[in-house]
Amino acid sequence: MPKLSIVVPCYNEQEALPLFYPAVEEVVQKISNLEIEYWLVDDGSADQTLEEMRKLHAMDPERVHYLTFSRNFGKESALYAGLEAATGDYVVVMDADLQDPPSFLPKMYSIIQTGEYDCVGTRRIDRTGEAKFKSFLSNKFYSVINRVSQNNIVPGARDYRMMTRQMVDAVLSMKEYSRFSKGIFSWVGFKTKYLEYKNVERVAGTTDWSTWKLFKYAMDGIADFSQAPLSLAVWLGTTSFVLSIIGLIFVIIRHFIEPANSAFGWSSMICIILLLGGLQLLCIGIVGRYIGRIYMQVKNRPIYIIKEKK
């Protein structure tokens, strides 16, 4: 019998988790000829999430497994740990807050089972219940990253996806420290079918993602999957070099035509110095971001640390 692993990253989901499990069970029980295992990953929650996991495990120790981190490592690390622990022929990744509708599971499974696709993903086609500014930034992010990165990232794609063992192994083979899952799923390739749905709001609890945190996440994602910011430095340098040559020619010609006026323009000089100084700092900053990422990678720290696994 084929086996499906359900990987669920959880951070402070004490209210959502007790609702999540029965909602998923109700759906998966109806899929015939399929073995199910759960991997609940407690990402260092500060609330009773771990207790809820222990309760679920006690109810069904054969199928419900959990692991807990020594601290909060972030959703990407939780996903990775869950994928590593999963033993299924197929693995589905879903959020604990029921924003990823379990009702899709039978459909995802029937599509992936045909063997035509290696992955069945989901994407939101609207963003009801989300702040306008946040949606605006998200849309901009997708258009920017798709322009600067070779990997195509589908707008609104969620992490909610079912993958074959082959694709999961490919994802696991990417051991990078800074993990941007949307990029990683697209980088490994394989044939993905996207199911579309309208945004669903959380059943309980609050999201941990502020607009600022999302913005930083987006910037990291761009740095992880594109070297375009580095080319920006090259272009800025080239442009200011060409402009300075033009300026130089202008100054020399003026010196011969109007020798008396050849040394004026204090304010314009200050502006140019400030502009170039600013551009230089910007470029150093961009290079620095990449060096920081190299630094984190070469330290080769583990992506997560497990405290308890059952």
C-alpha–C-alpha distance, residues 181 and 87, integer Å: 20
Binding mask 193-212 for ligand UDP (x = CB under 6 A): --------------xxx---
Least separation in angstroms between residue 96's CB and ligand UDP is 4
E strand residue ranges, the chain:
3-10, 35-42, 64-69, 90-93, 119-124, 157-164, 192-197, 306-309
C-alpha–C-alpha distance, residues 133 and 284, integer Å: 30
Q: Taking CB under 6 A as the rule, does residue 221 contact ligand UDP?
A: no
For the chain, helix, strand, coil in percent to 5 are 50, 15, 30
Q: Find the binding residues for Mg ion in span 96-155 (CB under 5 A).
A: 97, 99
Q: SS3 of 8, please?
A: strand
Q: Which of 97, 118, 188, 222 binds ligand UDP (CB under 6 A)?
A: 97
Distances (CA, A) of 257 to 244, 249, 269: 20, 12, 21
Q: Which of 4, 11, 188, 303 binds ligand UDP (CB under 6 A)?
A: 11
Q: Find the binding residues for ligand UDP in span 45-74 (CB under 6 A).
A: 72, 74
- Of 195 and 200, the one with the shorter C-beta distance to Mg ion is 200
Contacts of 300 (CB under 8 A, 6+ apart): 177
- Of 31 and 203, the one with the shorter C-beta distance to ligand UDP is 203
Residue 75 touches which of ligand UDP, Mg ion, none (Cβ within 5-8 Å per kind): ligand UDP
Least separation in angstroms between residue 92's CB and ligand UDP is 13
Q: Taking CB under 6 A as the rule, does residue 43 contact ligand UDP?
A: yes
- Of 125 and 248, the one with the shorter C-beta distance to ligand UDP is 125
